[in-house]
Amino acid sequence: MILSRGTLMAVTLVCAATLQGQVAHAQSIWMPPTTNSQIRLEVLKPMYDAEGVGFWTQAWYLSGQARLSPVVALQFEVPYSRYEEEGFETQSTVGNPYIGMVYGAKDLKGVIVEAGGRLPLLSEEDVDEDLAALINGWAADFTRMEAFAPETVTLRLRAGGHVVNNAESGVNLRLMLGAQAWIPTDDGETELVADADMGLWMLGTQANVGAVLSAKTLLTESDLSISERSEFQLGLSGSMRFGQVEPGIHARLPLANEGLIGLGEFVDAVVGVTCTVHLVP
């Protein structure tokens, strides 16, 4: 399987004890910022430090954004994860769907506020039947790990803005800070998480490239050090627009072998492809 027995046990214990709900991101932080009404498909493949993992071991995120006014948009997302390995039963699962709102100027300037949550579609039965698929979803994008958390309601609030937005050069610097509440549907304790990401983008009329640094820290486990309850990642993305269709590519690296689930210990990198359909020119 993708994890050693010891690592798998550690991940399972962490999920049972603390990951009762996870960090929620509405629109993927790894994609170029846009305010258009759109539909997007992201296909992400973790590159595991193990042999025998199948090509279709992937996570898919179908998301959309509908602009309701010049400064307000509605967002949704439906996640899916599949894990296959030689000599191991193939597993797949649909994750917890997201719905939320975002406030931000259409011209990518000024303040951004995001609020929303995920519905608890997954149950403890999914842990018993599809644990490998759940872990694959967590590894594919740890910033949206809550998408594959069982019996959990996630509430989120994030704020920030476009610190730099130069229309002539296309340079855009976006900073966001957030807090999330992981609320179990059983009698477990609610956990709090803080996250931050910084994205530097070159936005053109047809081509976009960018780099994003992401950090996430579990706040309510004070007996752990910062490094033990945090995960850090660096992502690189590029896309090319052809009319209303914008295909793209993505690569991401865990920046430490130690952390909340030790992502760097079993994932060398994450690669993927995306396709965005802009519904408004």
The model's pLDDT over 63-117, given as tens digits with 9 standing for 90+, comes to 999 989 888 999 999 999 999 998 888 999 999 999 999 998 777 888 999 999 9
- Contact call for residues 53 and 253 (beta carbons, < 8 A): no
CB of 31 closer than 8 Å to CB of 236: no
What DSSP letter does each residue of 215-273 carry, written as one string? Answer: EEEESS-TTS-TTTTEEEEEEEEEEE-BTTEEEEEEEEEES-S-SSS-HHHHEEEEEEE
Q: Is the pLDDT of residue 152 over 70?
A: yes
CA 71, CA 216: separation in Å to the nearest integer? 27
Q: Among 74, 70, 72, 78, which residue's Cα sits nearest to residue 100?
A: 74
**What is the structure's pLDDT at 81?**
97
pLDDT at 36: 82
pLDDT band of residue 261 (cuts 50, 70, 90) is low
- The pLDDT assigned to 147 comes to 93
Q: Nearest to residue 97, comparing CAs of 81, 82, 76?
A: 76
Residue 9 DSSP one-character state:
H
**pTM given for the model:** 0.86
Mean pLDDT over 258-279 rounds to 87
3-23 pLDDT, tens per residue? 443 344 334 434 433 333 233
| In the predicted structure, residue 281 carries a pLDDT above the cut 70 | no
**H-helix or E-strand containing 163?**
strand 152-165
**Bigger pLDDT: 10 vs 192:** 192
Polymer length of the chain: 281
Q: For residue 251, how many C-alpha atoms fall within 13 Å in the half-sphere facing its CB? A: 5
d(CA 275, CA 239): 9
Considering its fold, how many domains does the chain have in total?
Answer: 1
Of all residues in the chain, what percent carry a pLDDT higher than 70? 89
C-alpha to C-alpha distance for 163 and 114, rounded to whole angstroms? 16
Q: Which residues contact 1 (CB under 8 A, 6 or more apart)?
A: 8, 50, 85, 88, 132
CATH code at position 235: 2.40.160.40
Domain around 125: 5-278
Phi, psi of 206 (to 5 degrees): -125, -40
* Other beta carbons less than 10 A from residue 129's beta carbon: 14
Question: Given this model, what pLDDT does residue 260 score?
Answer: 66
Q: What is the pLDDT of residue 27?
A: 60
- Please provide the average confidence, as pLDDT, over all residues in the chain: 86
Which distant-in-sequence residues (6+ apart) come within 8 Å of 167 by Cβ? Answer: none
Chain centroid, CA 187 distance in Å: 26
Cβ neighbours of 168 (radius 10 Å)? 5
Cα atoms in the 13 Å half-sphere on the side-chain side of 94? 8
Question: If pLDDT is split at 50, 70 and 90, which confidence band does 127 have?
Answer: confident
